[in-house]
Amino acid sequence: MSSVERSEARAPLFADLPPVIMLCLFWLATIVVVAVFADLFAPAHYTTQDLLARFRPPVFLGGDWDHVLGTDHLGRDILSRIIYALRTSILIAVLGTLIGAIGGTLAGLAAGRLRGPVDLSVMMLTDVQTALPSLFIALTFLAFFGNNIFLFIILVSLEGWERYARLARGQVISEQSADYIKAVEALGAGPGRVVFRHLLPNIAASLVVQATLNFPGTILLETSLSFLGLGIQPPGTSLGLMLGEGRGYLLNAWWIAVLPGIVIFLTTLAMSLFGDWLRDRLDPTVERD
C-alpha cells in the first residue's frame, strides 16, 4: 500500500454504514448490554424451577406474559436462561478470542522477528493446528483431562490462533525491511522497542479484523462442545447446552431448542457480516477462513 492509500484508510471509518451493517452492530451491542446487565434484564434466575409450569409455550404461540419465551422441561423461564447463557457464551468467546489473539500474535511476532528455529517451531505448530481442527484437539484434551473451566477456555482460544500467527509473521517480515523500521534501528532502538512501539501498531488493524472474522468460529466451538455435552456443564448454562437439552423435546416443545439456536445464529451472522465489511474497509490482505 502506498503512503497515499494508507492515509486515506484513516479517513472516518464509520462514515457510510450500510443499513445491514448498522443492524448487525445494533444486535451485537444489544446482546453485549443484555449479557453484562443480565441481572437487570432477566425476569428470573436461570435455575429457578417451577414444575407446575413446565413446557409453557412462548407468548407468540399462545403462552402468557409471565414467561415471554416459554418454559422448559423443568419449568425454568427460557428468556432468563437465554440471557444468562448469552453472558456465559459471550464471556467465554471474548476471553478465548483475547487469549488466542494475544498468543497467536506473540508467536507470529517471535517467528517473524527471530526467524531460525523459533520460526520453524511456530510453523510446525501452525501445521498441526491446520491438520487437526480445534474441535478435535479440544475433544482429545477433554477426554483425557476431563472438564475444567480453565482448560475449556484455553481450548476455545485455540480456534484460529494460527491465523493471527501467520498474519503477524507475514506482516512483520514484510514491514521489517521498510525504511522507517531501519531508520529507527539506526537510531539505536532495541528490538523490544522496534517490535512493540513500531511494528505492532502498524499491523494492529489487520489483527483486529482477523479477530472479528474469527469470533463466530470461537462462539461456535464453545456452543458445539456444550451442545455435545462436553462443554459447560449444568448447573451452568450456555446457549449450546440449552440446544442440547432441548433436543429431546422437539416434538412438543420445540422452542426450548430453537430459541437459543436463533440467538446463536443471529450473533454469528451479525459478526460475520460485520467482519467481512470491516475487512473490505480496512485491509483486504487478511485471510478468509
Partner 1 sequence: MTMATLKAIGFRALRSVVTLLLCVTLVFVVLRTAGDPVDQLLPAETPPSVLEEYRIAWGLDRPLYVQYWSFVSRAMTGDFGKSFASNLPVLDVVLETMPRTLLLGFSALLLASLIGLSLGILGAVRRGTGIDRVAMGVAVLGYSMPIFFLGIVLILLFALQLRLLPSSGASSLLHLILPTVTLALPLAGRIARFARTATLEVMGRQFIRTAHAKGAGRLRVLLQHALPNAMVPLLMFYGIEIGLILSGAVVVETIFAWPGLGRLLVSSVSMRDLPLVQGVILTITLVIVLSNLFVDILHALLDPKVSLARTLGGAG
Partner 2 sequence: MSEPLLKVTGLARSYEMHRGLFGHGSTVRAVDDVSFSVAPGETLGIVGESGSGKSTTGRVVLGLEPPSAGEVLFEGKPLPPMGSLEWRRLRTRMQMIFQDPLGALDRRLPVATQVREPLDIHNIGTRIERDERAGELLSSVGLSRSIGARYPHELSGGQRQRVVLARALITRPALLVCDEPVSALDVSIQAQVVNLLCDLQADLGIAMLFISHDLRVVRQVSHRIAVMYLGRIVEEGEADDLFADPVHPYTRALVAAAPVPGRKPSERAMLQGEPPNPANRPSGCAFHPRCAMAVDRCRSDVPALASLGNGRRAACHLAGQPIAAVPPGAAAAQQEIFAK
The contacts found for 123-127 with CB under 8 angstroms, 24 or more apart, are: 125/162, 125/165, 126/162, 126/165, 126/166
User: In this chain, which stretch among 63-71, 161-169, 195-203, 229-237 interacts with partner 2, using CB under 8 A?
Assistant: 195-203
Q: Of the candidates 273, 285, 286, 284, which has an alpha carbon nearest to the alpha carbon of residue 17?
A: 273
User: In this chain, which stretch among 38-46, 60-68, 93-101, 262-270 interacts with partner 1, using CB under 8 A?
Assistant: 262-270
Cα angle for residues 267, 228, 215 (degrees, 5° grid): 30
Work out whether 55 is an interface residue with partner 1 (CB under 8 A): no
User: In this chain, which stretch among 14-22, 47-55, 186-194, 248-256 interacts with partner 2, using CB under 8 A?
Assistant: 186-194
Nearer to partner 1, 110 or 219 (CB): 219
Of the residues 187, 251, 288, 289, which one makes contact with partner 2 according to CB under 8 A: 187
- Grid coordinates given for 36: 453484562
Q: Quote the CA–CA distance of 241 and 225 in Å, as a whole number.
A: 8
Contact flags string 207-246 toward partner 1, x per CB under 8 A:
---------x---x--xx--xxxx---------x--x---
Beta-carbon contacts of residue 254 (< 8 Å; ≥ 6 apart): 246
Min. distance of Cβ 242 from partner 2 in angstroms? Answer: 44
Please give the residue ranges that form the binding site for partner 2 (CB under 8 A).
3-4, 6-7, 178-180, 183-184, 186-190, 193, 198, 201-202
